[in-house]
Structure 1
Amino acid sequence: MTSRHLICLACWLLSLACSAGQNDNYPFSIDSEKTPDGHRLVARNAGPAPVSVKVSIINGQYIATDRQFPLYVVVPPGGGTLYLGNIRAAMSGVGYTFQTQSTWTLGDFNANQSPDAVYRLPFRDGMAFRIGQAPGGPTTTHHSPDSQYAVDIPMPEGTPVLAAREGTVIYTEANQTYGAQIPDMLSKANEVRIQHIDGTIGIYAHLAHGGVYVYPGQRVTSGQQIGLAGSTGYSSGPHLHFAVQAVRRNGEKLETVSLPFNFYVGNPPVAFAPQFGMLAKADYVSPGIIPGSQPTIQVASQAQPSPAQAHGSSAGNTDVLIGFEVPPEIRAALLKIRMWQWLTGMLGLLLLYLWFDKRRDVRRREGLRIVREPTFRSRPAEEPIFHGLTAKDKLIIACQGDRQKAERLMEFEYRRAPSINDDEAARRAWEQLQRDRS
């Protein structure tokens, strides 16, 4: 076999791609292409985000390159091809082999957060929620660099989630259904990532199944609804995980880190750093007032993953909600209560709740029967019922007193038109209900 044949045979053994920390469904690749004098490496990025990549050559024999490896580059978005380097035989007539190894992550490792960057609260005006895990407070996760400055905001399932800052959606995960505190859930949270003008990235994680309302490449404005809160992935309950992230080169590796950030409220606005226990209200009409910090007691999770388990490459998908630490004397007293006493007490509370709930339903039905007494006047039957009532009261009566059904109908109208208020949502839901019954 000639030396030339040795070269050609060896070339087929090249370019074993060993990639780490990547998003499987993101359109990025590093390819090796044959050239007359060897091979060239190219990166292709068809997605909406810049990609930071490290490319190394391993197990190379009898090779020469036109640049030094490992190579650290940022591949711009938009579907273009970026030349990474040329590899050829070091000596004429001698066969050569090599393999490539690459690691990459979304974002530009040169990006820095703007000094004046601020973020609105990621929920609707008028809503208020207490901040859970936050920098400086008690934490069960948020120990790794990608979540050190993240916050958790407990909120009911289905609460509208808004963009905290304008930018471009660069990544979404919307296929996850369940949430639990088991290892299988560590990388299974629905999420949205938005890149801001300064290159930083906002991440909104644990969104509900069917609760992602945007798509990669879409431009969003501050305050625009992007999804619904949920509890997918490694999570102890419904909440929103929010963080501002950037990519950094740390020695010979690339890593995603979270950055300190400030929320703002009010008009004129005032900025504040999120703190554990703050009751933050989204008010962008009144003069800004920094929220107070009033921690409340919540039960902390007993199952806590290690930092490496809790925060992998898809940052923010591995949270457990935590609460204010119970004083030692109270904790000691609670530990003295036997299990059967706990169970008896809980059963008693459950029975008491069911009794009160049944009594409430009876009173509500009696009230509805009084309201529905037939009238012998010639005007429409609903006039004496609805006269002087709010739109929501009319909707509840139309739902036969079922408040949960009324709220579901109103939430459907919110999704169709996020900017409407409660009265308008109730009115539209009532009108739709009448059309459905006609």
Structure 2
Amino acid sequence: MADVAFSTVWQPGDGTQWVKWGMTDDDFIAADNEYFPQGLRVTSLEFHEGRIAAVWRPGEGTQWVKWGMTDDDFIAADNEYFPQGLRITSFDIADRRIAAVWRPGEGTQWVKWGMTDDDFIAADNEYFPQGLRVTSLEVEDGRIAAVWRPGEGTQWVKWGMSADEFAAADATYFADGLRITSLVVDHGRFAAVWRPGEGTQWWSAGRGAVDFSTEDGAYFARGLRIACLSLHDDPVGAYRYPWRGGDSYTVGQGNNSPAGGSHTGVQAWAFDFDMPAGTEIRAARAGTVEWLQENLTGTFNPTKDVGPDNTPFPDGDLRNWGNAVRLRHAGGFTSWYFHIQNDGVLVAVGDEVRQGQAIARSGNTGRTAGPHLHFQVQADSVNWGPSVPHTFGDACEQPASGATATSDNAP
């Protein structure tokens, strides 16, 4: 499951949440048998390359989960559960096999799959005036599946969108008081349902497991829970190496290595990239310039003897960082760039920068043993704090100390 990508929506929620992926059938059964007696129910069920992913959150009452069903198997199961007062709360199709979760519910329910675009439009035009709304949407190989259940208010359903089209649609609908209630990615194209909602919403697309876990942990701490989850191919790192695409530099420290280095504890996931002073530093991710310091010239080399020409800065003194820039990104994450050369900051506070835009030139200011760039990511922090795990580039890399890192940022 190393190549699995997570596209996820987080919205306000509370209580326990468990997320597991890459499960075999037996793994899932064991997990559900553990969580069900704790009052947790499956709120999202996904399949990718024969493995199961699921989200459990607080719930009550009966629950049935079935997967690997043929069309006839699914019809028989739904015909059995519907009269018992159970309705479909999660629905997935993978390799033409159906998976579904049934939980207590009431009222009308319609389920259709294998639909063309026109088929879906015709069905939704029929059911919407009856007070039914799409509660689950799936797309496999260009064919649409959907579940309609009682609901009210505005509904927008779009599919076949690029990532940019999806982002634009969500920006428009969010401002109108709508939130994403279903999300799926099929062969790089996005499909989604928006319905009335309120409060915070964050989403990310195509994250690898490391970046997904980091985001989910940060959002959970802020009172958000997974509302939608779609698994697909081709994960991409949340960040790009912070220099020109095609150029390579050595990792001085990274991923809690080497042993005895300074990148431990709160800096365990920070990186030092060895590069000549004056190297153009580029934004690792689009964001806003939130803070900077420039025009510092002092350097303290911790590997040399202390003396008049090599005086340490006090602990906690911002001069230890040298000239620096902090960018704030969607979802509250921040990236930090340290040891920039004197007069080497190329942006101003408040600037909106795109990924790959030049923001500074590397240097040797602050507490440093030689010219390099210190880079780290933090979660929703305006002060120095714990770095968080993240990956770089199309290959979702987490380079170790001594590795050569080649950028696929802007050329």
| TM-score, L = length of structure 2 | 0.38
Q: Of Structure 1 and Structure 2, which has the larger fraction of its residues in strand? A: 2
| TM-score, L = length of structure 1 | 0.36
Q: Which has the larger radius of gyration?
A: 1
